[in-house]
């Protein structure tokens, strides 16, 4: 894998994030690559979710939060872009599946277009819905039930529906914040297989508490601790020869 040419997609430079007076991230600099899966690991409260929430400007939805530094997506600083445009380019999927409860499966998939005021023809909508559900490995299971509510699906199916909803806007990056923490082992396995498949078309940044999961699905892994990026590299190297004692201790289960 390392012999393949890596193309920079998202570059974070000197990122400091504050929740009012509390500094949640301290001078984080990291590069994510096109068509790769990147895992971000670390104990609770280390800044993992804060970091990826900055990538679609969700951190600033709470008054008093602020970010300093640069987050360059294809060379443009997203901290200076229109947040709506940023969110179209960075799809987000959360810990718990959250399909819109009053919407059908079909309407859930294209919800981003409606929320952004983008009009689609019926044929465009049909194409995007089928394509997105196919990418999320859900089309075969729901194609005859598209007009039923998304909430009637199982937890794992609901999470794949949320992934389809994020993919429908053709984002450059898919942000997954512990997407399997609320799922059973079988549904988790489905999502992991899906993540590996999806990297052919989209770059993925995955926050996970699950060390084994990071080892199974990611090409690169970052280890964070107390708001700092401690170590980052190929998953294989970081897991076998970690450079920092704290990384080694975390991987061996001494804390976390």
pTM over 0.75: yes
Instruction: Give the model's confidence band at 2: pLDDT under 50 very low, under 70 low, under 90 confident, else very high.
Output: very low
In 3D space, the residue among 158, 127, 128 whose CA is nearest the CA of residue 142 turns out to be: 158
Q: How many CB atoms lie within 10 A of CB 32?
A: 23
Tens-place pLDDT, residues 28-83: 999 999 999 999 999 998 999 999 999 999 988 888 899 999 999 999 999 999 99
Judged against a pLDDT cut of 50, whether residue 247 lies above it is answered with yes
Phi and psi torsions of 52, nearest 5°:
-75, -25
Is residue 3 over pLDDT 80? no
Cβ burial of 40 (10 Å; 0-12, 13-18, 19+) is buried
- Which pLDDT value is given to residue 1? 44
Mean pLDDT of 225-244: 97
Token readout for 255 is 């804390």
Examine the pLDDT at 255 and tell me if it is beyond 80.
Answer: no
Q: Which of 100, 19, 30, 98 is nearest to 64 (CA)?
A: 19
Q: Is residue 198 classed as helix, strand or coil in its secondary structure?
A: helix
Model pLDDT, residue 223: 98
Give strand ranges (E) for 34-180. 37-41, 65-73, 76-77, 90-93, 173-177
Angle between helices 155-167 and 185-198 (to 10 degrees): 20
Q: pLDDT tens across 173-228, in order? A: 999 999 999 999 999 999 999 999 999 999 999 999 899 999 999 999 999 999 99
Query: Domain limits of the chain?
Result: 8-251
**What whole-number distance in Å separates Cα of residue 206 and Cα of residue 227?**
17
Would you place residue 5 in the very low, low, confident or very high pLDDT band (cuts 50, 70, 90)?
A: confident
Asked whether the beta carbons of 58 and 175 are under 8 A apart, the reply is no
Q: Provide mean pLDDT across the span 228-233.
A: 98
What is 8-251's CATH superfamily?
A: P-loop containing nucleotide triphosphate hydrolases (3.40.50.300)
Task: Quote the mean pLDDT of the chain.
Answer: 94
- Tens of pLDDT, residue by residue over 71-130, are 999 999 999 999 988 998 999 999 999 999 999 999 999 999 998 889 999 999 999 999
| pLDDT value, residue 256 | 65
177 three-state secondary structure: strand
**Minimum mean pLDDT range among 3-7, 39-43, 108-112, 229-233:** 3-7
């Amino acid at each position: 894998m390392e012999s393949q040419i890596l193309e920079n997609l998202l570059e974070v430079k000197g990122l400091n994030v504050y929740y009012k007076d509390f500094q949640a991230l301290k001078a984080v600099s990291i590069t994510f690559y096109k068509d790769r899966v990147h895992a971000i690991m670390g104990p609770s409260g280390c800044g993992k979710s804060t970091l990826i929430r900055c990538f679609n400007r969700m951190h600033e939805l709470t008054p008093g939060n602020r970010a300093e530094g640069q987050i360059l997506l294809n060379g443009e600083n997203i901290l200076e872009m229109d947040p709506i445009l940023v969110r179209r380019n960075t799809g987000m999927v959360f810990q718990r599946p959250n399909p819109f409860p009053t919407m059908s499966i079909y309407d859930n998939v294209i919800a981003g277009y409606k929320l952004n005021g983008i009009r689609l023809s019926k044929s465009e909508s049909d194409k995007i819905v089928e394509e997105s559900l196919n990418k999320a490995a859900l089309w075969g299971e729901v194609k005859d039930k598209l007009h039923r509510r998304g909430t009637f699906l199982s937890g794992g199916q609901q999470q794949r529906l949320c992934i389809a909803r994020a993919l429908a806007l053709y984002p450059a990056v898919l942000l997954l914040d512990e997407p399997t923490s609320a799922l059973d082992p079988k549904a988790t396995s489905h999502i992991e297989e899906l993540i590996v498949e999806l990297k052919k078309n989209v770059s993925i940044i995955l926050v996970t508490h699950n060390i084994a999961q990071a080892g199974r699905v990611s090409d690169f892994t970052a280890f964070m601790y107390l708001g700092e990026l401690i170590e980052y590299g190929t998953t294989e190297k970081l897991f076998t020869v970690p450079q920092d004692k704290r990384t080694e201790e975390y991987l061996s289960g001494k804390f976390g």
